[in-house]
Amino acid sequence: MSPAPLRIVHIVRAPIGGIFRHISDLALAQTRDGHHVGVVCDASSGGAFEDRAIADLAPRLALGVRRFAMRRAVGPGDLFAAFGIYRQIRELKPDILHGHGAKGGFFARAVGTMFRLRGHKVTRIYCPHGGSLHFDPTRWDGRIYFLLERLQQVVTDGIVFVSDYENAAYEAKVATPKVPARVVYNGLAPHEFAPVEVDGDAADFLFIGMLRDLKGPDLFIRALHNLTLAHGLTPTATIAGEGEERAKYERMVADFGLESRVRFAGSLPAREAFRKARCVVVPSRAEAMPYIVLEAVAAEMPLIATRVGGVPEIFGRFADRLVEPGDPAALTAAMVAACVEPEKMRRFAVTLRKGLAESFNIDLMNDRITSLYLGVRNGSPAGLPPAGAGSIPHLTPSEMLARTGEAPSSRQFD
C-alpha cells in the first residue's frame, strides 16, 4: 500500500468478458489495499449478465461505476465523448487513469491530458488487452490503428502488457515503448484453483466465450460436424456465451443438423459452465492472455486450446500440445483424441495445473500494477523491472509472433 491512498479510475469501453473480469478483480484488490477506485464503461454494451456484475461491483468501489455512451468504431465523435467523460469525472480528482483496450486507452490518455492541462497531475496508464494489436499491419486499417497507437505514446506515462506475446506484438507493430512498461499476467483468486466436479448429465464439449468469429465458435461447430461426418462420433456440446453473432451460429448448428446435440446456454460464470461439460474447447483465432484458459487449467478441466497470444505462456513446456488457430481439421483431430482418450486428457489436466498459482494470482497482479503506478508517479522508472516477465522472454518480437501462429485480424476491437 502507498503512503497515501491513490484515487484510481479504470476506463474500458465494453464491460464484458475477460477484460472486465480483469478490471473488477484489480479494482477490488486495490480497494482492499485502501485506494479509492472507480470504473467508467459504455452504457449500452453487455446484457443482463453484465448488468448484474456491474450492480454487484459498483457499491464496493469508493468512486463507483459510471456508464457513458462509447461507440465501438473509431471516429471524430470520440473527441466529444472524451470531453464528456472529463466533465463527468473531474470531481473525482483521479491520480491514476488506467485505460483498458484500445478505446479505453484512448479515453484514459485523452482525459488524463485534459486534467494535466488544467494543472492536475494525472498518471495515464494503458493496457492493450489485445485490442488493436490483433490487426494486420499490412492492411490499411491496421496501418491507421498502429499510427494512432504510436501518436498516443507521447501522452502515455506507463504501459501494462498482459503477456509477453502482447509486449512483442506492440514492439513489432507499434514501437518499442518509450515509457515504463511491464508484463503483468492476469490473476485468479485462491478458490478458483479447486477442481470442478462435472454434472452427471454433462455434455462432452463446452465452448465458453463471446460469440464472435474472433473467439472461434464457428470453428467449434464445424469441428463437431466433422466428428460425425469423418469419424462417426456423435458428441454433445454446450455453447455458453452471448454476442451479436449468436443467430449466425444457431443457423450453423441447424444447417449441420446438430440441434439435438448442441445447446446454447447463454452467459454463465466460468465454473458453473465447467460443470456442464467434460472438456473445454477454446478455439480462438486471437487472444492476449485469456482468462477462460487460466480458469479451465486452474479447475483441472480437460482443455483443448489454440496457439494464440499468451496461451503458450500458460502451457509453458507443454505448448506443443496447442492446436493451430483457424484450422478446423486440427481442431477436429484434437477433439477426436479427447473422445477416444478421455482419461489421458484428465491426467494431463492435473499436470498442467501444477504451479499455475505461483504466476497467475490476483495479489501478484495487483502488486505489480500498483507498484508501476507508484514508480511512474515518483519518477523512478529506472527502478522498474524490464517488461518481459513470462516463460519465453528471450525471443525477439518477430520470433514471438511466429511462435504463436496467430492469424492477423481485420475485425473491430475494444
How does residue 409 score in pLDDT terms, banded at 50, 70 and 90? Answer: very low
Distance of CA 351 to the CA centre of its chain: 24
pLDDT confidence of residue 259: 97
162-214 pLDDT, tens per residue? 999 999 999 999 999 999 999 999 999 999 999 999 999 999 999 999 999 99
The pLDDT value recorded for residue 219 is 98
Q: What is the DSSP letter of 160?
A: E
Confidence of residue 336 (pLDDT cuts 50, 70, 90): very high
Q: Is 346 exposed, middle or buried (0-12, 13-18, 19+ CB in 10 A)?
A: middle
The residue among 218, 368, 189, 377 whose CA lies nearest residue 283 is 218
User: Is the pLDDT score of 158 beyond 70?
Assistant: yes
Q: What is the pLDDT of residue 96?
A: 98
pTM of this structure: 0.90
* Contact call for residues 227 and 336 (beta carbons, < 8 A): yes
36 confidence band (pLDDT: 50, 70, 90): very high
Domains and CATH numbers, the chain: 7-187+361-404 (3.40.50.2000), 190-357 (3.40.50.2000)
State the DSSP H helix or E strand holding residue 252, giving kind and residue range, or none if neither.
helix 246-255
- CA–CA dist 284, 91 (Å, integer): 41
Q: How far is CA 111 from the centre of its chain?
A: 23
- For residue range 221-259, what is the model confidence (pLDDT) as tens digits? 999 999 999 999 999 999 999 998 999 999 999 999 999
Query: Which pLDDT does position 392 carry in this prediction?
Result: 40
Confidence of residue 77 (pLDDT cuts 50, 70, 90): confident
* pLDDT tier at 388, thresholds 50, 70, 90: very low
CA-closest candidate to residue 209, choices 280, 112, 111? 280
How does pLDDT run across 90-102, given as a tens digit for each residue? Answer: 999 999 999 999 9
Strand ranges, E, within 162-210: 181-183, 205-208
Question: Which cell numbers hold the place of 147?
Answer: 499510427
Structural Rg of the chain based on CA atoms: 21
